[in-house]
Structure 1
Amino acid sequence: MIDPYDILGVTRDADGTAIKGAYRKQAKTSHPDAGGDVETFSKLTNSYELLIDPIRRKVYDDTGYDPALADTKDLESVLVLETLMNELILDEREPGSFDPVAAMRRKLTDQIVSARFHILEMERHRGRIRNHLDRIGKRPEADILGRMFRARTDTIGEAITKSEAQIDSIERAYAMLEGYSYEMVEIVQNAAE
């Protein structure tokens, strides 16, 4: 995630005037018409627009997240975490009686294992199809069956690529959980027992 405060070079308590001044100062040199980089100027503009909007700024300050400043892969990972967060909110157990961060990590690990197993299964099927393709005699005119077999292997290849991207998103989501801990409630045994 990009930190708009760092991009603009302002403190977290900067007011609108300071934000506007920092933006104008940097825009003079980073604007593409002044020889600046398009991507750098885009990040600068997005940072300014976020911090000047009180609602977006509050959301960013509370969550550290803004869609306009996030890398696409980070957004996919945030969506993975969002799904887990929704499950956590629906969990009826008493807060402090279980570690939700550890539970999220376990679920992410399970998702990675499942996706890797799915890839292995797809690779096995693709291998079988290729074996059939190698063994089938081709018709001299139109190789209809050969095209069908090749189309199946291409489709499986695309599915494998999607699963690999899914694993990458899950691994990024797992990395986003680094540094978090959860304080558990100590269960005190009753002395009368």
Structure 2
Amino acid sequence: MKRNPYEILGVDPGADKSEIKAAYKTLAQSVHPDKGGDQNEFTELQWAYAILKDDDKRAHWDRTGEDNSGQPSTDDMATSEILGAFQQCLQMVLQGRKSENTDCVEEITTALRDAVSQGKNQINEVSRHLQKVEKMLGKFTVDNNQPNVFEGHLSSVKGSIETKLGNLKGRQTVLEKAEQQIKHFTYSPEGGLVKQASQGFHMGGTGSTSTTNAWG
């Protein structure tokens, strides 16, 4: 049986962080090995809490039902988006297709803004498709105990749309995070190609060196 962090902690999927933390502390006191509890139960409890206390991991679980521990964080993926786009801009400068005074920051900012807008439109469109399919479900009947192929097909289509919608929302989260990150950078012809605008800002991850269009 597949593990479910909400069931392990005994909380509702809509529980807030304070409820999740309280549930973890209560259960930890009873299953902790130092207090006579079972090590496997405690390990599972820690796994569930690690997912639900982290916004990115919890959102991923809610969308897919999968644990993405060990996967790059949203911040890291957003940084990769920016660096991939910067590499593309840099390649065009090196190839002579752009001036060395090109404001790559402004170009990346514009591309991200357009990508975020397009992503919202795609999410809205796919959401409408899902709503229409959901309204159609349950309205087809068949006699003589024949298999209801219409309802079966609608259920399959619904699952495919839900998967697509989840992927789009995950992608949108990364793009919106990248859009926030790029705001911390500015371009100065006198001070180098790119300089950091906020001394306290930090971007994690190693990023991508893809030379393809980052949002195409």
Task: Give deviations 1:74-107, integer Å, cap 9, x for gaps.
Answer: 22212211321222123222122x3211111111
C-alpha separation in 2, matches of 1:75 and 1:180: 16
Give the aligned partner of residue 118 of structure 1.
Answer: 122
Give the aligned partner of residue 172 of structure 1.
Answer: 177
Helix, strand or coil for the counterpart of 1:181?
strand
**2:140/2:148 contact within 8 Å kept:** no
1:102 to 99, 106, 117: 106
C-alpha separation in 2, matches of 1:128 and 1:87: 40
After superposition, residues 39-188 of structure 1 pair within 5 angstroms as 72-91=73-92, 92-96=97-101, 98-139=102-143, 140-184=145-189
C-alpha separation in 2, matches of 1:76 and 1:179: 17
C-alpha separation in 2, matches of 1:100 and 1:156: 36
C-alpha separation in 2, matches of 1:157 and 1:70: 22
Task: Give deviations 1:52-90, integer Å, cap 9, x for gaps.
Answer: xxxxxxxxxxxxxxxxx9952222212211321222123
Helix, strand or coil for the counterpart of 2:173?
helix
Helix, strand or coil for the counterpart of 2:183?
coil
Q: Give the 3 Å change call, closer, same or farther, for CA 70–180 of structure 1 in structure 2.
A: farther
Aligned partner of 1:88: which letter?
A: C
Helix, strand or coil for the counterpart of 1:90?
helix
More divergent stretch after superposition (156-165 vs 87-96): 87-96
**1:138/1:146 contact within 8 Å kept:** no
More divergent stretch after superposition (138-147 vs 168-177): 138-147
Following superposition, the deviation at residue 179 of structure 1 comes to: 2.3
C-alpha separation in 2, matches of 1:148 and 1:135: 13
Which is helix-richer, 1 or 2? 1
What percent of counterpart residues are identical?
A: 12
Following superposition, the deviation at residue 117 of structure 1 comes to: 1.0
Q: Give the 3 Å change call, closer, same or farther, for CA 180–128 of structure 1 in structure 2.
A: same
Following superposition, the deviation at residue 134 of structure 1 comes to: 4.3
Once superposed, which parts of structure 1, at least 4 consecutive aligned residues long, lie more than 3 Å away? 138-141
Count of aligned pairs between the two proteins:
118
TM-score (norm 2): 0.48
TM-score (norm 1): 0.53
C-alpha separation in 2, matches of 1:99 and 1:118: 29
Which is strand-richer, 1 or 2? 2
Helix, strand or coil for the counterpart of 1:182?
strand
Which protein has greater RCO, CA pairs closer than 8 Å, 6+ apart?
2
Give the gaps of 5 or more residues in structure 1: 1-38, 40-68, 186-193
Q: Give the 3 Å change call, closer, same or farther, for CA 118–145 of structure 1 in structure 2.
A: same
**2:82/2:182 contact within 8 Å kept:** no
RMSD of the TM alignment (CA)? 2.7
